[in-house]
Amino acid sequence: MHQRNELLTRPDPVPAGSDAVLALMSEAYVAVTVDGRIVEWNPAAEATFGWSRRQAYGSDIAQLIVPHRHRAVYRAGLRRLADGDPGRLLKRRLQLIATHRDGHELPVETTLTITDRVVHALAHDMSATLRGSRFTMVEAAVSRGLAEAPTSSNAAARVVEALGVRMGWPVSELWLIEEQRQVLTCAARHNRAGRDLSDFAITELEPGVGMPGAVYRNGRVRWISDLGADPSPRSRAAARIGLRVAVGVPIRTGSQVLGALCVYGDRAEEPEDILIGLLCGLAAHVGQYLQRRRAEELAIDLARTKDEFLALVTHELRNPLAVILGTVAQFDEEDLGPAEQARNLRTIGNCAERLSVMADDLLDLARLESGSLTIQMAPLDLADLLTESIANTKPTTEAKNLTVRAELPARLPVRGDSDRLRQVADNLLNNAVKYTPVGGTVTVSAAPDPADPSWVTWTVADNGIGIPVEERPRLFRRFYRASTAVAARIPGTGLGLVITRTILERHRGTIAVADTTGPGTTFVIRLPREPMILSR
Ligand code: ADP
């Protein structure tokens, strides 16, 4: 450790009143005797190197702030100054490496002068300037990487890697909003030293939660100088793995915020405009890239939807319309008896009903996808909701002689949008009824998940026509209808499951087809009972 010489008297190298000047100087001023003892140390030196004036006085400069490997060269330099042979050491800018009190190394630029065997050094920390020039390289690497990236996830990985590898940030992350679910997901994370990130490495956050969530929601830069002192659980998780500082900047296209770019460092640092400016520049690159990418993806999606929509119009709209027109024509052309007239009217009514269901489904989907249909969360009893849905299908199930079993607790309180969850219940039950032949069985069950009672597991099972295993991955695509339904000539739009899944995702839930090969189909839903408390 550094040595102190308590007996050393403090010489006065500058005229009276200089203390005030030294205190105001933005550059670190350090004066040492030619044998290396510190005799002056101003407030800027305290800030630059972390040692107080009291601690520095009398210490050996080499031991206090020179990295071990440079000490011999340093002492040799002082000897040359003492011998009056300064060589190229005086009156020019020297670039040196110093050690901060907390152990990190910093590049400093210094100029030396000597008076009466006292060496005066004016020094300033070059970290920010060097960071600036390294950042220019990062920006170039990022624009190159974004131009060449084959996919969005590859592009995200390149951005965080550039920040980690070239800028030395121990952890960097890129978070993006998933618009449908309104959840932030971590598109890429770089862990430079491969440290164990444990519970810091989560992949989803609610808007407003944690630093990425706060940056996304407010659309503003956030700098947490000391993660250990920040109350948020994620900051505490960061502090537990040795991270001290966090900086997050929003990623936007125009006025819309798409996510957050966040870096985490392992030593406390105060906000620095240069770094914020540079990170914002980088985030702007990413924003432009994402906008371009989204436009391309949207164009492809629109083209596909257009094809699917045309197919739907051809089959599902034209069929009922043709039946309606043909039946109406019979009224004109033939002299129908009352029984035939009644049958024809029923046929027209059924077809009109099919068209109206399709129009409702299309409108619902459009509203859910555009975000104009909001989810109103309130406490509700899921057992009650399912019992009502089952009661509502009674006329159809009786007509088809289906057995409907309800395996439900007396009460199952959850938070959710009762109208939308009822729509989910009806969609799944109507499908089970529709795709199960006469005499079959449909079972609706719901209960708290035994492994985690804060979740509900809800299943709708039938022993009907089933869905071939290889077709199941496509089931939740718009307009998709399984070959079994098409072969059985059972009408449908292929939109109900897409709507169902979107509503469940807005509740932070999931839906999947159970991995069963047996006869029939089982849909499994997992729903958090308190969606808003999740991932906080
Ligand atoms: P629709 O039933 O109007 O066609 P959905 O989106 O509700 O639309 O369902 C999509 C497809 O999934 C259906 O066309 C059908 O092929 C299949 N499907 C859904 N539920 C069942 C079920 N219970 N049994 C068999 N197939 C089903």
Whole-number Å distance between alpha carbons of 530 and 508: 9
Q: How far is 147 from 452, CA to CA, in rounded Å?
A: 44
Atom of ligand 1 nearest to the CA of 427: 7
Q: Which DSSP symbol is given to 60?
A: B
Q: Which DSSP letter does residue 316 get? A: I
Amino acid letter, residue 469: V
Contact between residue 458 and residue 527 where contact means Cβ atoms under 8 Å apart: yes
Q: Strand, helix or coil at 171?
A: strand
Question: How distant, in Å, are the alpha carbons of 359, 382, 403 from that of 385?
Answer: 25, 5, 19
pLDDT at 218: 92
> Closest by alpha carbon to 330, among 317, 320, 340?
340
Domains 130-299 and 371-528 share a fold: no
> 505: burial class by Cβ within 10 Å (0-12, 13-18, 19+)?
middle
Exposed e or buried b for every residue in 94-112, given b needs 16+ CB within 10 A?
A: eebebbbeeeeebebebbb
Q: Taking the domains of the chain in order of start, what are their residue ranges?
A: 2-125, 130-299, 371-528
In short, whether 433's Cβ falls inside 6 Å of ligand 1 is no
Atom 21 of ligand 1 has which residue's CA nearest to it? 431
pTM: 0.54
Pocket test for ligand 1, best of 426, 434, 435 (most atoms within 8 A of CB): 435
pLDDT at res. 5: 42
Alpha-carbon dihedral 47, 52, 55, 59, rounded to 10 degrees: 30
- Strand (E) positions, 242-308? 245-253, 256-265
Per CATH, the number for 130-299 is 3.30.450.40
pLDDT of residue 56: 95
Q: Cα(295)–Cα(314) distance, rounded to whole angstroms?
A: 28
Per-residue pLDDT of the chain (536 residues; tens, 9 = 90+): 444 444 344 444 444 457 788 888 889 999 999 889 999 999 999 999 999 999 999 999 999 999 999 999 888 888 888 888 887 888 788 999 999 998 888 999 999 998 888 999 999 998 878 877 787 888 888 888 888 888 888 888 989 998 888 888 899 999 999 876 778 999 999 998 888 998 899 999 988 899 999 999 999 999 999 998 998 889 999 999 999 999 999 999 877 899 999 999 988 777 888 788 888 988 998 998 888 887 887 788 778 777 777 777 777 788 888 889 988 888 887 787 888 888 889 989 988 988 888 888 888 888 877 777 778 899 999 999 999 999 999 999 999 999 999 999 999 999 999 999 999 999 999 999 999 999 999 999 999 999 889 999 999 999 999 999 888 888 888 888 899 999 998 988 888 999 999 999 889 899 999 988 778 999 999 999 987 644 33
If residue 214 lies in a helix (H) or strand (E), which one and from where to where? helix 210-218
Query: DSSP readout, 100-121?
Result: -TTS-EEEEEEEEEEETTEEEE
Q: Which amino acid is at 8?
A: L
Pocket lining: 354 vs ligand 1, CB cutoff 6 Å: no
Q: Give CATH superfamily name and number for 2-125.
A: PAS domain (3.30.450.20)
Phi, then psi, of 405 in degrees rounded to 5: -105, 135
The residue whose CB lies within 8 Å of the most ligand 1 atoms, and thus the one to mutate among 429, 443, 497, 498, is 497
Minimal-distance CA residue to ligand 1 atom 25: 466
Regarding the beta carbon of 511 and ligand 1, being less than 6 Å apart is answered no
CB of 500 within 6 A of ligand 1: the answer is no
CATH 3.30.565.10 fits 371-528, yes or no: yes
From CA 486, how far away is CA 297, in angstroms rounded? Answer: 30
